[in-house]
């Protein structure tokens, strides 16, 4: 015996079955990685929660729940499934994310045998869905629901064929749907293979490597675009192929995620997707599974199969069977089976919102955000797997009007009030003594500099995004 390996005969003597040994291998590793992802998700959001959805935040969740209860009555509990209905307070919000983080650590360090890890993952799932249900605009990203769907399957994860195939079906839907939406959107940059020429500059939060890659020739960008489309539209079918072809597909999918991870800040998304790719390398265990196990597997497969089929039909505007829309509506709040499709339309310009305050309406000072572009001399950050959710929402807001982003007006009000919880989401407060009398937001068009220009960005003003306003 060497390297800490326990011989098979010893494992038999201490009562380990082959299934339990498999759990200590690939399945156990996946569940531990998922525990790490959960921990990042809970703690990252938890730090920001007071300023985002706390009682003094941009979109207070307690007011949100109260408004829904008034408008919908008892149906609100079904539409917003969250344990925070029991006590919609800041203390309860903190307790939920802290308990989620503790359960995530338990999932990482739980003993291999028994149901401790599965129980910890079940707690993580319930608490994560509870946060997503009240997170509103700030917990509405595709990786947030992907974490929920992965979390459901992880509770039942083992080396049986049905459960392995459920994970493969999930990674297939994630990848293939992301490719299909690019084709069906009609976006010319994907059809002309120029999308990746724009991506590195216009993605929500680029990093320094994105600036370097952006300097590449167009033919390289077109090759990257072609690789992306092949990886998302062709390669996913290898996920159901025999072992060697499936492994090739798995490595290509991982390569795509590593390229995305290295050139941008996409929170825990790439880590979670790479973890899902592990199921492309695990082989079903040949053993007799008991009737209860088979019943659970069949029920889970039927649920995921029907739900995902209906959701795919609705996503791509295909006819649903009778009652299909009602089923989709019933499942949507649970976030355990979802539609996916990233970067359907590539943004070709980078508008940025610069928020400013003034004490007299004449002299204006800018609020600098921690990570989104502002100061043109400041380098793009490297922050994943963390997600600064206000910075991310500012990217989406710049692509539309403030009237279409109701949270933005609330954000400006909080700045006028000098709300500490919200100000902590910013890099610094230019009005440390007292809040400004007026706020406004200007829109600029940012672009990366080239080799011969100073700084990281250049910018050109495009006018007002939000007119000067003050409190009454």
Tokens of residue 343, six digits: 């970067």
Tens-binned pLDDT, residue by residue, of the chain (472 aa): 333 343 434 344 334 444 444 445 789 999 999 999 999 999 999 999 999 999 999 999 999 999 999 999 999 999 999 999 999 999 999 999 999 999 999 999 988 777 999 999 999 999 999 999 999 999 999 999 999 999 999 999 999 999 999 999 999 999 999 999 999 999 999 999 999 999 999 999 999 999 999 999 999 999 999 999 999 999 999 999 999 999 999 999 999 999 999 999 999 999 999 999 999 999 998 888 999 999 999 999 999 999 999 999 999 999 999 999 999 999 999 999 999 998 999 999 999 999 999 999 999 999 999 999 999 999 999 999 999 999 999 999 999 999 999 999 999 999 999 999 999 999 999 999 999 999 999 999 999 999 999 999 999 999 999 999 999 7
d(CA 325, CA 39): 34
d(CA 219, CA 202): 19
Question: Which of these, 114, 116, 150, 157, lies nearest to 34 by C-alpha position?
Answer: 150
Beta-bridge partner residues of 457: 448
d(CA 390, CA 53): 11
pTM: 0.93
Sign of CA dihedral 332, 337, 341, 342: positive
- Asked whether the beta carbons of 132 and 334 are under 8 A apart, the reply is no
Residue with the two structure tokens 């706020």: 439
Count of C-beta atoms within a 10 Å radius of residue 96? 23
**Could you give the 3-state DSSP secondary structure of residue 151?**
helix
Residue with the two structure tokens 């008991």: 290
Count of C-beta atoms within a 10 Å radius of residue 154? 26
Beta-bridge partner residues of 447: 458
Residue with the two structure tokens 């969740």: 61
d(CA 54, CA 31): 31
pLDDT of residue 114: 74
d(CA 144, CA 129): 9
- 253-261 contacts, C-beta under 8 A, 24 or more apart: 253/171, 253/175, 253/277, 253/280, 255/231, 256/227, 256/228, 256/231, 256/232, 259/224, 261/384
d(CA 12, CA 18): 9
Could you write out the DSSP letters of every residue in 11-55? HHHTT--HHHHHIIIIIHHHHHHHHHHHHHHHHHHHHHHHHHHST
Convert the pLDDT of each residue in 106-131 to its tens digit: 999 988 777 999 999 999 999 999 99
Question: Which of these, 168, 146, 153, lies nearest to 122 by C-alpha position?
Answer: 153
Question: Which of these, 150, 102, 438, lies nearest to 269 by C-alpha position?
Answer: 150
pLDDT of residue 373: 96
Convert the pLDDT of each residue in 195-252 to its tens digit: 999 999 999 999 999 999 999 999 999 999 999 999 999 999 999 999 999 999 999 9
**Could you give the 3-state DSSP secondary structure of residue 205?**
coil
d(CA 265, CA 143): 13
d(CA 382, CA 355): 23
Average predicted confidence (pLDDT) for the chain: 93
Q: Are strands 365-366 and 350-358 parallel, antiparallel or unpaired?
A: antiparallel
**Is the previous residue joined to 175 through a cis bond, with omega within 30 degrees of 0?**
no
Tokens of residue 402, six digits: 């403030």
């Amino acid at each position: 015996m060497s390297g800490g390996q326990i011989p098979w005969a010893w494992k038999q003597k201490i009562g380990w079955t082959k299934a339990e040994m498999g759990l200590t291998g690939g399945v156990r590793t996946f569940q531990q990685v998922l525990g790490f992802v959960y921990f990042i998700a809970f703690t990252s959001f938890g730090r920001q929660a007071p300023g985002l959805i706390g009682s003094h935040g941009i979109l207070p969740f307690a007011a949100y729940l109260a408004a829904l209860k008034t408008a919908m009555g008892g149906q609100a509990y079904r539409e917003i499934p969250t344990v925070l209905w029991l006590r919609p307070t800041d203390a309860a919000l903190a307790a939920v994310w802290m308990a989620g983080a503790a359960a995530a650590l338990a999932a990482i360090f739980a003993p291999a045998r028994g149901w401790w890890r599965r129980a910890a993952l079940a707690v993580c799932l319930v608490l994560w869905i509870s946060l997503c249900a009240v997170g509103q605009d700030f917990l509405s990203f595709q990786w947030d629901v992907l974490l929920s769907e992965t979390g459901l399957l992880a509770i039942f994860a083992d080396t049986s064929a049905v459960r392995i195939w459920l994970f493969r079906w999930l990674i297939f839907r994630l990848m293939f749907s992301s490719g299909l939406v690019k084709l069906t959107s009609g976006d010319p940059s994907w059809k002309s293979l120029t999308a990746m020429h724009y991506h590195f500059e216009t993605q929500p939060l680029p990093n320094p490597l994105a600036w370097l890659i952006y300097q590449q020739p167009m033919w390289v960008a077109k090759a990257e675009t072609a690789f992306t489309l092949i990886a998302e539209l062709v390669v996913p079918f290898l996920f159901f192929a025999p072992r060697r072809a499936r492994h090739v597909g798995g490595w290509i999918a991982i390569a795509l995620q590593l390229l995305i991870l290295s050139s941008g800040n996409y929170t825990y998304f790439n880590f979670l997707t790479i973890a899902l790719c592990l199921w492309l390398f695990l082989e079903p265990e040949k053993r007799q599974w008991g009737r209860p196990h088979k019943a659970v597997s069949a029920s889970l497969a039927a649920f995921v199969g029907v739900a995902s089929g209906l959701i795919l039909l609705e996503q791509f505007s295909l006819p649903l069977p009778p009652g299909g829309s009602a089923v989709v509506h019933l499942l949507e709040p649970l976030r355990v089976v979802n539609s996916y499709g990233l970067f359907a339309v590539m943004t070709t310009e980078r508008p940025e919102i610069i928020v400013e305050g003034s004490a007299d309406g004449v002299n204006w000072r800018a609020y600098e955000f921690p990570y989104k572009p502002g100061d043109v001399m400041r380098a793009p950050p490297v922050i994943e797997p963390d997600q600064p959710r206000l910075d991310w929402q500012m990217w989406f807001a710049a692509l539309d009007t403030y009237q279409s982003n109701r949270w933005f007006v609330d954000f400006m009000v909080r700045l006028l009030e000098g709300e500490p919880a919200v100000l902590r989401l910013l890099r610094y407060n230019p009005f440390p003594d007292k809040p400004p009398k007026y706020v406004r937001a200007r829109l600029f068009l940012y672009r990366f500099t080239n080799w011969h220009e100073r700084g990281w960005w250049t910018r050109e003003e495009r006018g007002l995004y939000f007119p000067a306003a003050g409190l009454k």
